[in-house]
Amino acid sequence: NLALEMALESRSARRTCAVLEEFLVAKVYPSPQLAQRLAKAGRHVVQIHLLVGRLLTMNREDKVGEARRTTALLQTHMDEREAELAAIGKTVRDPTPEQEARKQHFESLKKRGFFKRPWLPFGEYLASKQKGGETYARRHDKPRPNL
């Protein structure tokens, strides 16, 4: 990046092209700030445009290859897990012991009434259903976003 910066400061298209070709060989990409300066400095030089296009193509191919490798690695992990489960006689759809424990925990919380609405005496219940008052305001008066 320092070499590209010096080439841009020298305002020499030949030096800039040489540095960009070295970038291509080394598979190194310029920083966003240098790319912006390069776009401004080399907007009239066709060779710089072609080299930047090759850099972009190389970057795109690298990213696609990396994504494919990551996907293949994830797929092998998934296949490994399926093979391990098949050896036990289970499928991917069968819940793990952690999932079963979590389900039992939340079912016991539900039985104990943790997720029920709070019970109100009849007078407070009627007051909460009427329009106006603090309970109505608590339900309906919500801050609006500044658009």
* 80, pLDDT greater than 70: yes
pLDDT at residue 79 in the model: 95
- Cβ atoms of 50 and 78 closer than 8 Å: no
pLDDT at residue 128 in the model: 79
pLDDT at residue 1 in the model: 65
pLDDT at residue 52 in the model: 80
Average pLDDT over residues 48-71: 89
Residue with tokens 């006689």: 89
CA–CA dist 52, 35 (Å, integer): 9
* 93 three-class SS: coil
The whole-chain average pLDDT of the chain stands at 84
CA–CA dist 46, 70 (Å, integer): 36
CA–CA dist 68, 65 (Å, integer): 5
| Ranges of each domain in the chain | 2-63, 97-138
C-alpha of 73 from chain center: 19
pLDDT tens per residue, range 107-144: 999 999 888 888 889 988 888 788 887 778 877 877 77
* 85, pLDDT greater than 70: yes
Average pLDDT over residues 75-84: 94
CA–CA dist 42, 109 (Å, integer): 67
pLDDT tens per residue, range 26-40: 888 777 777 777 777
Could you tell me the CA-to-CA distances from 117 to 125, 126, 135 in Å, in that order?
Answer: 12, 15, 15
